[in-house]
A = this chain, B = another copy of it.
Amino acid sequence: MSEKPAAYGETGSRRTYEWPRPALTVDVAVFSVIGTLNDLMLQVLLVERAQEPFKGSWALPGGFVHENEDLGAAAARELLEETGVRESYLDQVAAIGTPGRDPRGHTVTVLHVALIPADKHDLVSSGDARMARWFPAAKLPPLAFDHAKLLEAARDHLRRRIAATPVCFELLPAEFTLSELQALCETLLGRALDRRNFRRKVQDAGFLAKVKGQREGKHRPAQLFKLLPKEFARYVAQERALPW
Assess the B68–A99 pair: CB atoms within 8 A. Answer: yes
Assess the B67–A7 pair: CB atoms within 8 A. Answer: no
Q: Given known contacts A4-B63, A68-B99, is B19 in contact with A23 (CB within 8 Å)?
A: no
Assess the B106–A8 pair: CB atoms within 8 A. Answer: yes
A70 at the interface (CB under 8 A from B): yes
A65 at the interface (CB under 8 A from B): yes
Assess the A70–B95 pair: CB atoms within 8 A. Answer: no
List of B residues within 8 angstroms of A59 by Cβ: 1
A117 at the interface (CB under 8 A from B): no
List of B residues within 8 angstroms of A23 by Cβ: 7-9, 17, 21
List of B residues within 8 angstroms of A233 by Cβ: none
Among A17, A27, A110, which residue has the most Cβ atoms of chain B within 10 A? A110
Docked CA distance A7–B68 (Å): 19
CB distance from A202 to the nearest CB of B (A): 23
Chain multiplicity (copies)? 2
Docked CA distance A70–B68 (Å): 24
List of B residues within 8 angstroms of A97 by Cβ: 65, 69-71, 110
Docked CA distance A227–B101 (Å): 36
A133 at the interface (CB under 8 A from B): no
Docked CA distance A1–B25 (Å): 7
A213 at the interface (CB under 8 A from B): no
In chain A between 92 and 126, which residues have their CB closer than 8 angstroms to a CB of chain B? 92, 94-100, 102, 104-110
**Pick from B20, B62, B66, B78: contact of A19, CB under 8 Å:** B66
Q: Given known contacts A10-B104, A22-B24, is B62 in contact with A2 (CB within 8 Å)?
A: yes
Q: List 13 A-B contacts (CB under 8 A).
A: A1-B62, A1-B63, A2-B81, A4-B64, A8-B23, A8-B102, A9-B106, A22-B24, A68-B100, A68-B106, A69-B97, A92-B95, A94-B95
Q: Could you list which residues of chain A lie within 8 angstroms of chain B, going by C-beta atoms?
A: 1-5, 7-10, 17, 19-25, 27, 50-51, 59, 62-71, 78, 81-82, 92, 94-100, 102, 104-110, 128, 145
For the complex of A and B, the 9 pairs showing the least CB-CB separation, nearest first, are A2-B63, A9-B105, A8-B23, A9-B104, A95-B95, A68-B99, A71-B97, A8-B105, A95-B110
